Amino acid sequence: MEHHLIQQIFSPDISQAITNLVIHTREEDNMQWNLNNIGKVSVKALYKAKIENLYRNDHATRDWGALWSLEVAPAIKIFLWKCAHEILPTNAKTASILHYIDPTCKICKSGEETMTHMFLNCPAATDVWHHMFGESHGLFDHQTPFMDWFNTWFQHTSNGENMSTYATTCWFIWKARCDLVFQNIKPNSKKTTLSIQQHLCDYNRIQNLAHHALNTQGHISETGLQREETGFHVGIPRQKQDYGYIIKICTIQDPNSYQFFSALTVTDFAGKYVDNRGHTGQLGASRATGGGELAFAGLRKSIT
């Protein structure tokens, strides 16, 4: 009878859990304190639970190293840093300080523009997530506050590549929102998705270019060593060979076209200019690599 009543009231999984409970018929019901294992009230356990909750998203205890070592462009790291501090100037955040500001989302006008709304629940954002990860991506549900999801990124270190993609996606959603607010450009989720994919592709290319240039640097110092052994010091003071060269690789991104440009400068250890190569215009892996090789070919020429 009771089973029947339970099944009527609760869903099958809950009624199953209830009917599986072992009932000690000779014992009276009593209250249990669930903040510790002994089941009895303890100020220490209450204090611990309160403190843990209070400092759940604490900035001082956050693993900032994980954020700064993420494989994303520097502009995205700074954006993430603002997210982590919950200081991204969304309308809701700004309205909490300046009361004449309207906290409503300018894109859908159907809620306050909090980080959770803007990144996870606004139709402009959900479309981008669907384009990027499929209709049933299951990355977050729409009850999850953004900060809770954001914090899980840094809990699994093996998650690096996904984290970079999530971070890049959030940054572009934020940029599309800013384009509407400041330039009145209507968000277009397909265009935003294409920009994200293009950016990720360009970023990977430039990382490969930088690795290539660093490997070539190793090759040069080897050549310098050989030359010293065989006594060829033409046109370069011996001291410079002992200390080698500093090769600086600078990469910047055009904020409008999102394309990367790289430049390579070679100086001696005193900072005196030796050589440089720049690479501007369209980024192509072969041309970029060629630029790096040319720079090193020029360097060899200048030291032999």
The residue ranges that bind Zn ion (CB under 5 A) are: 105, 107-108, 122
Show Cβ contacts of residue 163 under 8 Å, excluding neighbours closer than 6 positions.
Answer: 70, 153, 154
CB of 125 to Zn ion, least distance (A): 8
Q: Give strand ranges (E) for the chain.
A: 245-253, 260-268, 273-279
Both tokens assigned to 94: 């700004």
Cα separation, 252 vs 263, in Å, equals: 9
Of 146 and 261, which CB lies nearer to Zn ion in the complex structure?
Answer: 146
**How far is 95 from 89, CA to CA, in rounded Å?**
9
Instruction: Supply the minimum distance, in Å, between the C-beta of residue 153 and Zn ion.
Output: 23
Strand partners, 263: 250, 278
Q: To the nearest whole angstrom, how small is the minimum distance from the Cβ of residue 170 to Zn ion?
A: 15
Choose between 111 and 244: whose C-beta lies nearer to Zn ion: 111
Rounded least distance, CB 206 to Zn ion, Å: 33
Tell which residue, 105, 107, 89, has the closest CA to residue 97: 89
Q: C-beta of 126: minimal distance to Zn ion in Å?
A: 10
- CA neighbor of 175 nearest in space, from 199, 152, 159: 199
Tokens of 276: 């440089």
Nearer to Zn ion, 108 or 236 (CB): 108
Q: For residues 24 and 109, which CB has a smaller minimum distance to Zn ion in the complex?
A: 109
Distance in Å, CB of 142 to Zn ion, minimum? 12
Residue with tokens 């402009």: 124
Which is closer to Zn ion, CB of 129 or CB of 296?
129
Closest CA to 246 of 279, 210, 274: 274
Pick 105 or 167: Cβ nearer Zn ion: 105
Q: Whose Cβ is closer to Zn ion: residue 108's or residue 246's?
A: 108
Closest CB 149 distance from Zn ion, rounded Å: 17
CB of 178 within 8 A of CB of 90?
no
**Given its phi and psi angles, is residue 235 left (phi above 0), alpha (psi -120 to 50 degrees) or beta?**
left
